[in-house]
Amino acid sequence: MSILESPLTRKLSAFVALSSVDLETLAKFHRRRRSFKAGHQMVAEGETHQSAFILAEGWACSFKVLPDGERQIIDFQIPGDFLGLRSILFRTSDHSSEAVTKIEASEVLAADMFDSFGQAPRLATAILWAVSRDEAMAVEHLVNLGRRSAEVRMAHFLLELGARLKLVGVGDKTGFNCPLTQYHLADALGLSAVHVNRVLRQLREDGLVTFQRGRVSFDNIRGLIALAEFDTAYLDHDGPLLK
Amino acid sequence: MSILESPLTRKLSAFVALSSVDLETLAKFHRRRRSFKAGHQMVAEGETHQSAFILAEGWACSFKVLPDGERQIIDFQIPGDFLGLRSILFRTSDHSSEAVTKIEASEVLAADMFDSFGQAPRLATAILWAVSRDEAMAVEHLVNLGRRSAEVRMAHFLLELGARLKLVGVGDKTGFNCPLTQYHLADALGLSAVHVNRVLRQLREDGLVTFQRGRVSFDNIRGLIALAEFDTAYLDHDGPLLK
DNA sequence: CCTTCATGCTGATTTATATCAGTCTGGAAA
DNA sequence: TTTCCAGACTGATATAAATCAGCATGAAGG
């Protein structure tokens, strides 16, 4: 796959038109291709000298583990997403990451990224946008946990995943293939697995969305959007800001 | 106050040593000084052409309002913090901001910031760090809402504020002056104001922390840190809160 | 082939927190 | 000086979601 069609390029292009210098510089981020098995721990919380990656294929998740063993999933990474960026910017990583499926990713060295800012300032802007978009998602998840009921929370989460996957060209408005278990959903939504199950049943019986056998089907996407009061503004998908 | 002693410079210097070119470029961010009254809406969710600011004096808060009128406070901004950065990167702002106290701030134009990346690449890195630190805080708040009880959540929140204020030179390990009401705490922690009150009483009666008359006093900071399992790693500071 | 284990699923019970419906206080406005 | 109001505070009750204690299924492994 050429750099022009990589999921990251596709995502960044939703924000800014990249010049050929930007693209050449971005290509350097893709020199260290790596493969990992499902379940592999990519980044470890509290450790120094961790790597960052750009995900090309597969799903990962970032999370924090509390002293009592409970886990809070922060977000899932899909193709085109950075993984562990904060672990190279910070002294010690503030979070862990693991592969949900087997994945293909490019390892990004801190030096590569910092050097690139001198060579292609507009790329710096694009990366700042990507990080801000990740922040916007974390913020929306915060609102999700703080103020929405379990049912609305689930609806919102599934719609967000759908929107993100659509942007990088996987899945459409009828649904998407999803490798997550109900335990993943529980850890992401701050619910127990038992309650996740009940909520999914409720949404299915209401004819809104079906989560079964590795597939999320939007049975009534309008109803689902209405229930979740879902607005994609925070994902900033609406075409380039700069040109 | 010279740019060398501004809270933002102080904060960024905790991450990277800024060159004289970086500092000159950063100084350009401080040309448009503005004052606002307490309660002033700085940034409006869903609007385009919003401004970003660097806060010099006073407190602000960023939040989202849900269709049912409920509000989730995302974070409070204190001197040295950016305010509304995503509102200039994104087409429409994904959040609102308002002044909690009267504030002094510098307005930052998108063009100033993007131009600065070409002139001072290291400044781009420092700003990326600052944004990542904001993201790390949002993530920690996410964990707070998702997995911690009301009491631990409150303890964690007050300790985080203490650590942040100490970094910019306001407050110390005995406590800090705090202009927030119990309603602010409720909106930030995803609790009802009634429950916030009960939790504060509990913490006070346990001799851990007192929140009263505009002041937060750490009565037993070790005990509070133990209760909250508070670790400053995610703030990427040099030193811990205790010292 | 049988066992094991991860995942999905369910009813009964408990608990944390919300909601309701107030009181009390101190400062600002009239 | 009285009235008003925001903010702090409290008891009683309601409820969303957790926890407990299972069963069912299908894939993986010996």
Of all nucleotides, the one whose C1′ comes closest to residue A197's CA is C9
H helix runs in chain B, sequence order: 7-13, 20-27, 85-89, 110-119, 121-147, 150-167, 182-189, 193-205, 221-228
Q: Please classify residue B1 by burial: count the beta carbons closer than 10 Å to its beta carbon, then call 0-12 exposed, 13-18 middle and 19+ buried.
A: exposed
Residue A2 has pLDDT above 70, yes or no: no
H helix runs in B28-103, sequence order: 85-89
| Residue with the two structure tokens 């209760």 | B227
pLDDT band with cut points at 50, 70 and 90 for residue A1 = low
pLDDT digits (tens, 9 = 90+) for A67-113: 888 899 999 999 999 999 999 999 999 999 999 999 999 999 999 99
Nucleotides of D under 7 A from a protein CB: 6-12, 16-21
pLDDT digits (tens, 9 = 90+) for A158-192: 999 999 998 888 888 899 999 999 999 999 999 99
Paired strand residues for B176 = B216
Of all nucleotides, the one whose C1′ comes closest to residue B198's CA is D9
pLDDT digits (tens, 9 = 90+) for A6-43: 889 988 988 889 999 999 999 999 999 999 999 999 99
B209 sits in the region (left: phi over 0; alpha: psi -120 to 50; else beta) called beta
**Which of helix, strand or coil describes residue B243?**
coil
| pLDDT at residue B4, rounded to an integer | 63
| Residue with the two structure tokens 């919380």 | A45
| Cβ contact B89–A132 (<8 Å) | yes
Q: Does B86 touch chain A (CB under 8 A)?
A: yes
Q: What is the mean pLDDT of chain B?
A: 92
Give chain A's domains with CATH numbers: 3-127 (2.60.120.10), 136-235 (1.10.10.10)
Q: How far is the CA of B100 from the C1' of C26 (A)?
A: 21
Q: How far is CA B203 from CA B140, B162, B214, B231, in A?
A: 21, 16, 16, 19
| Cβ contact A74–B139 (<8 Å) | yes
**Sign (positive/negative) of CA torsion A202, A204, A209, A215?**
positive
| pLDDT at residue A241, rounded to an integer | 39
Q: Which residues contact A58 (CB under 8 A, 6 or more apart)?
A: A79, A99, A100, A101, A102, A103, A104, A105
Q: How far is the CA of B177 from the C1' of C16 (A)?
A: 30
| pLDDT at residue A3, rounded to an integer | 63
Is the C-beta atom of B212 closer than 7 angstroms to strand C? no
Q: Write out the two tokens for B222.
A: 């070790």
B173: distance to nearest CA of chain A, Å? Answer: 23
Q: Write out the two tokens for B54.
A: 């660097």
| pLDDT at residue A236, rounded to an integer | 86
| pLDDT at residue A62, rounded to an integer | 96
| pLDDT at residue B3, rounded to an integer | 63
| pLDDT at residue A5, rounded to an integer | 73
**In A, which residues are within 8 Å of B91 by CB distance?**
233, 236, 238-239, 241
Q: How far is the CA of B209 from the C1' of C24 (A)?
A: 23
Listed as ranges, residues in chain B with pLDDT below 70 are 1-4, 239-243
Number of other CB atoms surrounding residue A166 within 10 Å: 15
**In B, which residues are within 8 Å of A134 by CB distance?**
135
Q: What are phi and psi of B72, to 5 degrees?
A: -115, 115
State which residue has its Cα closest to the C1' atom of C6. Answer: A181
Find out whether B126 and B70 touch, Cβ atoms under 8 Å. no
B5: distance to nearest CA of chain A, Å? Answer: 23
**In B, which residues are within 8 Å of A70 by CB distance?**
147
Residues A40-57 have a mean pLDDT of 94
Q: Does B34 touch chain A (CB under 8 A)?
A: no
Q: Write out the two tokens for A38.
A: 């499902």
Q: Does A127 touch chain B (CB under 8 A)?
A: yes
> Within the 93-112 window of chain A, which residues sit less than 8 Å (CB to CB) from chain B?
94-95
> Within the 134-153 window of chain A, which residues sit less than 8 Å (CB to CB) from chain B?
134-136, 138-143, 145-148
**How many H helices and E strands in chain A?**
9, 11
| Cβ contact A89–B129 (<8 Å) | yes
Q: How far is CA A94 from CA A57, B146, B187, in A?
A: 24, 17, 25
Instruction: Name all contacts of B225-229 with Cβ < 8 Å and 24+ positions apart.
Output: B225/B159, B227/B151, B227/B152, B227/B155, B228/B152, B228/B155, B228/B156, B228/B159, B229/A66, B229/A67, B229/B152, B229/B156
State which residue has its Cα closest to the C1' atom of C20. Answer: B194
pLDDT band with cut points at 50, 70 and 90 for residue A240 = very low
| pLDDT at residue A238, rounded to an integer | 67
**How many H helices and E strands in chain B?**
9, 11
User: What are the b/e assignments for B102-121, b being 16+ CB within 10 Å?
Assistant: ebebbbbebebbbebbbebb
| Cβ contact A94–B233 (<8 Å) | yes
Residue A234 has pLDDT above 90, yes or no: yes
Q: Are strands A175-177 and B103-108 parallel, antiparallel or unpaired?
A: unpaired
- Indicate the residue of A64, A89, A143 with minimum beta-carbon distance to B72: A143
**In B, which residues are within 8 Å of A89 by CB distance?**
128-129, 132, 236
| pLDDT at residue A243, rounded to an integer | 37
**Widest pairwise Cα distance in chain B:** 55
**Sign (positive/negative) of CA torsion B126, B43, B48, B111?**
negative
| Cβ contact B236–A94 (<8 Å) | yes
A54: distance to nearest CA of chain B, Å? Answer: 17
| pLDDT at residue B81, rounded to an integer | 96
pLDDT digits (tens, 9 = 90+) for A114-146: 999 999 999 999 999 999 999 999 999 999 999
Q: Write out the two tokens for B199.
A: 């939790």
Of all nucleotides, the one whose C1′ comes closest to residue A189's CA is D17
Number of other CB atoms surrounding residue B13 within 10 Å: 13
Q: Write out the two tokens for B230.
A: 């508070």
